[in-house]
Amino acid sequence: MPTYYLMPLIFVLGILGIAFEEQIKVNKTATALLTCVLLWFILLVDTDIAAATQGFADFLRHAPAEEAAHDVSDYLSLKLTEHLGDVSGTLFFVLCSMVLVNTIDNYGGFKSVAKIVETTNKRRLLWRVAFASFLFSAFLDNLAAAIVIIAVLRRLVPDRTDRMKYACLSIIACNAGGSWSPIGDVTTLLLWNSGRITPYYQIFHLIIPSLVNMLVATTLTHFLLFKKGARLRTLPDVPEDDVADILPQSARITVFLLGIASLMLVPIWQTFFDVPAFMGVIFGLVLVWIYTELMFSRHKRRLRSATSLRMTELLHSADLTTIFYFLGVLMSVAALIEGGQLAAASTHVSELIPSSGLLAGIIGVLSAMLDNVALVAAVLGMYPVDASGALTPFVVNGSFWVFLAYCAVTGGSLLIIGSATGVTVMGLEEISFGYYFKRFSAFALAGYLAGALVYQLQSLIF
């Protein structure tokens, strides 16, 4: 079946198109959506591909008698709906978290960070930026944290030559912080939502390796890129909040606390009440929405000129391009799952790389060049959870899944194009690929290897 082999070829070409979007001048979202449409089109037209899979055989074996006569087209329609439902949970989580973070920022919640980390000592500022990036990315997500940190750096470090170094280090710190949190990166969110890892197991086993990753990279930057006692070329400029004279102070604090608490409580709702992650973050968004509506009603005159801060307006600022990108990537992988190509690939990969730890490490390095969301989604399709317990690394909270969470996120720091965080900072500060590669790729690699070593040593103890 030529089309059977055509599907993975289209997927690989799509991933390469995403990786080289700057060279081909086509936005990665358009490439991802086109890949998705082509793969599902082939699958739905050439139904013989799905008819030969184990999934269809299992469907016929377990289907009620009145459904057993249904053809493969009915099966694919059902699976398409199921996959779209699973993907939608992740997309709604990302969308709502984006709106929450944007709301907190517009209400001045993050502006106070500038005053907390403010200092003219270059080395001291480096460590404050590193720890702020590490913590913010765990509580929000690494992409949102990077945007917040860059906004802070623009206030604290007016000189661009100085600021580029802090911006590059923040990429490494944000990715390190995002790897130990279930909501810190889209890949960790995928691992959590797919039932591969549980939040507290991930936090407990990855917080130390991730911290080591950040500390090693920051220490190398501290000694090799900044001289002792060096001070900023231009003094920091930390103006008053843009909304300080409009919004009540209590409202700003309340929105900040509600937004952060909504994101931090998501794993708790899921663990203790079995509430899906996207439902937890929607609940938090609704709370913030209701509070701000009541606030506008209470302070009509004072807030007459601040209609841009209403939730109905802030919803328009959601990054739908990113949402559609994830839709294209995740549904493309779903097509390969139903086509049986990923199941076949897992057999060949397992024969070629028998060590699950080595496999996770290689995926981490590949994520520096290819999109880590697509890589992790493909791996999820290749290796289902082993309910029998025969393959220990692939059970729920198995060593492969936990180590993959670390490698796939932090591996993206090896090159500036290896993560959404890096690409965003690259665009915001106009940092070249060569600048990051010459000065920070080695630091990122040292941190990556150090954290991986700590995880492997830690796994011998726990």
Q: What is the average per-residue pLDDT within 7-29?
A: 86
Structure tokens at 1: 């079946």
Residue 121 φ/ψ, nearest 5 degrees: -80, 120
Residue 285 lies in a domain: yes
Beta carbons of 362 and 41 less than 8 angstroms apart: no
Give dist(CA 203, CA 179) in Å, integer: 9
C-alpha to C-alpha distance for 332 and 214, rounded to whole angstroms: 33
* Dist CA 20 CA 27 (whole Å): 9
What are 103-132's pLDDT values in tens digits? 888 887 777 677 778 888 899 999 999 999
Considering the domain boundaries, does residue 356 fall inside one?
A: no
Residue 238 has pLDDT above 60, yes or no: no
- Rounded CA-CA distance 66/55 in Å is 19
Q: HSE (CB half, 13 Å, CA atoms) of 419?
A: 34
DSSP character for 231? B
In this prediction, residues 409-438 reach a mean pLDDT of: 85
Q: Does position 362 have pLDDT exceeding 50, yes or no? A: yes
**3-class secondary-structure state, position 121:** strand
Residue 120 resides in a domain: yes
Written as one letter, the residue type at 146 is A
Average pLDDT over residues 84-90: 87
Summarised one tens digit per residue, pLDDT across range 28-82 is 889 999 999 999 999 998 888 888 787 777 777 776 655 544 678 888 888 899 8
What pLDDT does residue 68 have? 47
For Cα atoms 27, 193, 207, give the angle at the middle one, nearest 5 degrees: 95
Q: What is the total count of domains within the chain?
A: 1
**Parent domain of 248:** 90-317
- At residue 52, what is the residue type? A
Residue 241 domain-assigned (yes or no)? yes
Beta-carbon count within 10 A of 8 CB: 17
* Within a domain: 179: yes
The residues, any chain, with a CB within 8 Å of residue 272's CB and separated by 6 or more, are: none
- Residues, the chain, total? 462
Residues 180, 178: Cα–Cα separation, whole Å? 6
Contacts of 146 (CB under 8 A, 6+ apart): 133, 137, 170, 171, 174, 421, 424, 425
DSSP annotation of 351: H
DSSP states along 405-455: HHHHHHGGGSSTTSSHHHHHHHHHHT--HHHHHHHTHHHHHHHHHHHHHHH
- In the prediction, which pLDDT does 234 show? 67
Report how far residue 358's alpha carbon sits from residue 363's, in angstroms, rounded to the nearest whole number: 9
In a domain, 357, yes or no: no
pTM of the model: 0.81
The mean pLDDT value of the chain amounts to 85
Write out the two tokens for 435. Answer: 């600048």
Question: For residue 269, is it within any domain?
Answer: yes
Could you tell me the two tokens for 330?
Answer: 């995740």
SS (H, E, C) 161-227: HHHHHHHHHHHHHHHHHHHCCCCCCHHHHHHHHCCCCCHHHHHHHHHHHHHHHHHHHHHHHHHHHCC
Q: Which of 125-129, 234-238, 324-328 has the lowest mean pLDDT?
A: 234-238
